[in-house]
Amino acid sequence: MVSLDGQTLNPTLSLDLPDGRTSQIYIGSGYLRNQDLVSAMVLSTRVGVISNERIASLYRDIVSNVTPDHEMILIGDGEQYKSLETYSEVIDQLIAYRFNRDTAIVALGGGVVGDLAGFVAATYQRGIRLIQIPTTLLAQVDSAIGGKTAVNHSSGKNLIGAFYQPETVLIDTEVLTTLPDEIFVEGLAEVIKYGVIYDAAFFEWLEDNTKAVLAREPDALQFIVRRSCEIKAEVVAGDEREQNQRAILNFGHTIGHALEAETRYGELLHGQAVSIGMVMETDLACRERLCDERTAQRIRNIVKAYRLPYEAPRVDKNRLLASMAMDKKVVRGELRFVLPKSIGTVVLTGEYDQKNLEATLTA
């Protein structure tokens, strides 16, 4: 909880882990216009704010009042900057500024900023405080929650990273109203994912409220962000390090990550790759006779309704297979997929006919 002008602001929800660690998640509208609230969230003697130029220019006044002793560290805007080279440059700047272990890292931006800043916080002087302030829908409902931090490698996405929980996640849904359409829409892929893997009623609500969501009506934004965060927190709390149940959050990501890697992180946004991956992995589920065509059609229809892509760019099948072989979801040499059985129910499996997988990749 946060004390502000004598008032107590309780978190909207908490991600509580078995060992007592907790991430406090605050969800509201207009939070980033409240400089006192942002300052109260950070409470550190020194702050390193990691962002990019575009985001920093929008919120520079807020950042300048976080603490008198802060440094703004800017990285490039795009997936290609989620790299060891950028990570090393940020570490160099922290050292040059003589930051020590009482520093807090504030990740202000979308998924790339959050993932890289989280990895910096996890590793700088063996770990310093981390506050996530996600500014895109994808980051608010997915990457800022749950403690996955990483950078990419030329052989695959997120291959170098750590599990490291933020102590606070501050989500302001008002910022979603100013996002470019393409950036807003890509985040909806992760929102749809939660309905498929966990909550059939949420999926049905998304089917029935397409116009309200795409119009970015405030109540609709609050609902989809909160419900998505609730689902992710519930899943992560029971399996922080993805040994079992948390792996269901990877629906659409096995093929999606391979598509991102093979298009050199330039042709597809992450959410776009996930939406294609969800449709393709559902196709594999149908070929494996795990789900029926009606389920597959509902998933295709909702992806189309939310203006997300559902057909893969032309990528060589063997290259996709090689990329998936380097995926973190490979266990004892077995590539596993999250496959839907029905809306709200999925299965994690490494047992499938290789010919069916190849047929899906070439369909």
Residues belonging to the active site: 126, 148, 190, 232, 242, 246, 250, 253, 257, 270
Using CB atoms within 10 A of its CB, is residue 263 exposed (0-12), middle (13-18) or buried (19+)?
middle
| 3-class secondary-structure state, position 26 | strand
Cα angle for residues 89, 92, 95 (degrees, 5° grid): 155
CA nearest to 306, candidates 198, 171, 216, 231: 216
Distance CA 284, CA 303 (A): 17
Question: Is 211 exposed, middle or buried, given 0-12, 13-18 or 19+ CB atoms closer than 10 A?
Answer: exposed
Residue matched to tokens 């997936």: 79
User: Token pair of 21, please?
Assistant: 């660690």
Contact predicate 150/327, CB 8 Å: no
Query: CB within 8 A of 48, min separation 6: which ones?
Result: 70, 71, 73, 93, 94, 97, 99, 103, 104, 105, 106
The CA angle 289-291-293, to the nearest 5 degrees, is 100
Distance of CA 139 to the CA centre of its chain: 5
Region at 39 (left for phi over 0; alpha for psi -120 to 50; beta for the rest): alpha
Distance of CA 210 to the CA centre of its chain: 21
